[in-house]
């Protein structure tokens, strides 16, 4: 998939999921208020699992990053059929010390919407978009007690390299290329 085709697909990403009809769209600075309200409305546990701390209300710097105002991240939001925000995801690209282009991915689904497949859907969209930017490897920092996210990662990338830091498990799955040159998220790891 090319970056242009992913943008066209995203523009019309109305999905029927286990959570009902949802839309995934690109976020921007104009979404600051709705993102602030969404983050503030998350339970302390959901805030902790996503940000490793309570962030209610989010600081100005964090809010700028979550809106994509810094220009350094691909930011997506998920809305329900009424237009209410129910999820947030972002991928920040950076060149690793070994020269590999990586995307650090973080996402959170609203408490009432968790366990319905939206996290998987949002992750898939972020990975597809990263692949279109020629990202080679993903970085997913997960708290050890966040079993739901660990299971999502292990199902998708069972052989992903994982490093234990003082606070987190850091998964580093590769994005691989299929025969024929189509870039897809792979099941192999670094």
- At 4 the pLDDT is 53
pTM to 2 decimals?
0.84
Per-residue pLDDT, averaged over 97-112, amounts to 96
What's the mean per-residue pLDDT of the chain? 86
Q: Is the pLDDT of residue 156 over 90?
A: yes
Per-residue pLDDT, averaged over 149-177, amounts to 93
In sequence order, the β-bridge partners of residue 28 are: none
Q: What phi and psi values does residue 79 have, to the nearest 5 degrees?
A: -125, 150
Q: What is the pLDDT of residues 109-135, one digit of tens each?
A: 999 999 999 999 999 999 999 999 999
Report the C-alpha gap between 140 and 153 in whole angstroms. Answer: 9
pLDDT band at 8 (very low <50, low <70, confident <90, very high): very low
- The answer to whether residues 76 and 127 touch, using CB atoms and an 8 Å cutoff, is no
Work out whether strand 85-95 and strand 73-80 pair parallel, antiparallel, or are unpaired.
antiparallel
Q: Looking at 73-82, 105-114, 169-178, which range is the least confident one?
A: 169-178
Report the C-alpha gap between 20 and 76 in whole angstroms. Answer: 18
**Helix, strand, coil proportions of the chain in percent (round to 5)?**
35, 35, 30
Tokens 């189509």 locate to: 182
Q: What is the pLDDT of residues 9-34, one digit of tens each?
A: 444 455 545 546 899 999 999 999 99
- At 11 the pLDDT is 42
- The answer to whether residues 104 and 141 touch, using CB atoms and an 8 Å cutoff, is yes
Per-residue pLDDT, averaged over 161-168, amounts to 95
Q: Is the pLDDT of residue 179 over 70?
A: no
pLDDT band at 182 (very low <50, low <70, confident <90, very high): very low
Report the C-alpha gap between 70 and 62 in whole angstroms. Answer: 10
83: three-class secondary structure by DSSP: coil
Q: Is the dihedral of CA 109, 110, 113, 114 positive or negative?
A: positive
Contacts of 160 (CB under 8 A, 6+ apart): 153, 154, 171, 172, 173, 189, 190
């Amino acid at each position: 998939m090319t970056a242009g085709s992913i943008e066209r697909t995203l523009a019309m990403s109305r999905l029927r999921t286990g959570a009902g009809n949802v839309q995934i769209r690109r976020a921007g600075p104009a979404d600051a208020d709705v993102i602030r309200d969404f983050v503030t409305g998350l339970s302390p546990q959901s805030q902790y699992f996503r940000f490793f701390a309570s962030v209610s209300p989010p600081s100005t710097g964090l809010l700028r990053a979550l809106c994509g105002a810094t220009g350094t991240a691909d930011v997506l939001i998920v809305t329900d059929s009424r237009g209410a925000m129910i999820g947030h995801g972002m991928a920040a690209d950076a060149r690793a010390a070994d020269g590999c282009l990586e995307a650090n991915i973080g996402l959170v689904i609203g408490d009432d919407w968790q366990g319905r497949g939206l996290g998987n859907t949002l992750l898939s969209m972020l990975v597809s978009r990263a692949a279109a930017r020629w990202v080679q490897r993903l970085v997913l920092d997960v708290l050890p007690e966040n079993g739901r996210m660990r299971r999502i990662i292990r199902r998708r990338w069972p052989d992903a390299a994982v490093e234990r830091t003082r606070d987190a498990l850091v998964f580093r799955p590769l994005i691989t290329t299929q025969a024929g040159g189509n870039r897809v998220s792979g099941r192999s790891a670094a």
